[in-house]
Amino acid sequence: MRMRPTLSWTPAGELPPGTTDPRPVADLLGAGGVLVLSGAGLSTESGIPDYRGEGGSLSRHTPMTYQDFTAGEQARRRYWARSHLGWRTFGRALPNAGHRAVAAFGRQGLLTGVITQNVDGLHQAAGSEDVVELHGSLDRVVCLSCGARSARRDLARRLEEANPGFAPVAAGINPDGDADLTDDQVGDFRVVPCEICGGILKPDVVFFGEAVPPRRVEHCRELVRAATSLLVLGSSLTVMSGLRFVRQAARAGIPVLIVNRDPTRGDQHAVTRVALPLGPALTTVAARLGVPVDDGTATPA
């Protein structure tokens, strides 16, 4: 059976209102033992749009599914043309104040770890350690035949060589690094195979319709069990891959706090939702706790 992306959700009842007071976040972090679960909303201030917020990419773009990618050469040509163009912008994105604050909380020993639904690598670029990339990372490529993994920059070089002069103007860039291009702009873009076995190359990310590896899920469940609280940052929790950890924490009596400007599918399981922009909110919390945050001018060691 073909699975389609979960694009939206409808609340079954009235959700509790959000607050604009960041103090609950400060109280949670001040107690330590916090596990962070982050989503696309954390990276919007780095110029990467989210999926479902105001102006989110799903209003104009349906992400590639695993089934479509593996079923047809034309779908792969379209994906790699759009992704190759998007990578030029996506790969230059820098961590924002929210990423740097999360890294600072980690350095102060307030976090037990970070689970991110994002594929942009910006947590690590900001200096966070012990980051679990739930959906993988766009900076790696995997062969579906032999399983070999390689760096995205190497594939980018090969695609440049195979498609000299490919530089269409995209209508926008999406959270999965996919640029908005028409079929005419994609044209006869050439896709390159695995250098080892000639197989199909795929970004080392979990596509819609593809399962998160079970061992990765279980590792995240262990992190939830070991945490004192769960702090959700910038995720609508529409898809089950992240929502399941919120539900797990709530069932175990582990407090859940969500920072997201819009209501989320996990609000009913949270102590509260703080409806504030993430960068300013987390910077304010860091100042309240006396946690020094890098200003973004220095490269993390």
Q: Which residues participate in catalysis according to the annotation? A: 135
Does the annotation flag 236 for ligand binding?
A: yes
Contacts of 120 (CB under 8 A, 6+ apart): 43, 46, 48, 90, 93, 137, 138, 177
User: 91 to each of 48, 95, 162, 179, how far by Cα in Å?
Assistant: 10, 11, 20, 12
Does the annotation flag 52 for ligand binding?
A: yes
Query: Would you put residue 133 in left (φ > 0), alpha (ψ -120 to 50) or beta?
Result: beta
Does the annotation flag 6 for ligand binding?
A: no
Does the annotation flag 231 for ligand binding?
A: no
Does the annotation flag 58 for ligand binding?
A: yes
Does the annotation flag 49 for ligand binding?
A: yes
Query: Would you put residue 38 in left (φ > 0), alpha (ψ -120 to 50) or beta?
Result: beta
Does the annotation flag 234 for ligand binding?
A: yes
Does the annotation flag 159 for ligand binding?
A: no
Does the annotation flag 241 for ligand binding?
A: no
Angle, helix 240-251 to helix 214-226, in steps of 10 degrees:
30
Does the annotation flag 145 for ligand binding?
A: no
CA angle (4 as vertex; 251, 136 as ends), nearest 5: 65
Does the annotation flag 254 for ligand binding?
A: no
CA angle (109 as vertex; 105, 114 as ends), nearest 5: 60
CA angle (43 as vertex; 39, 46 as ends), nearest 5: 175
CA distance 51 to 49: 7
DSSP 8-state secondary structure symbol assigned to residue 6:
-
Does the annotation flag 128 for ligand binding?
A: no
Contacts of 160 (CB under 8 A, 6+ apart): 166
Does the annotation flag 51 for ligand binding?
A: yes
Does the annotation flag 47 for ligand binding?
A: yes
DSSP-assigned beta bridge partners for residue 136: 205
Residues contributing to the annotated binding site: 39-59, 117-120, 143, 146, 194, 197, 234-236, 278
- Cite the annotated binding site for Zn(2+) by residue number: 143, 146, 194, 197
Binding residues for NAD(+): 39-59, 117-120, 234-236, 278
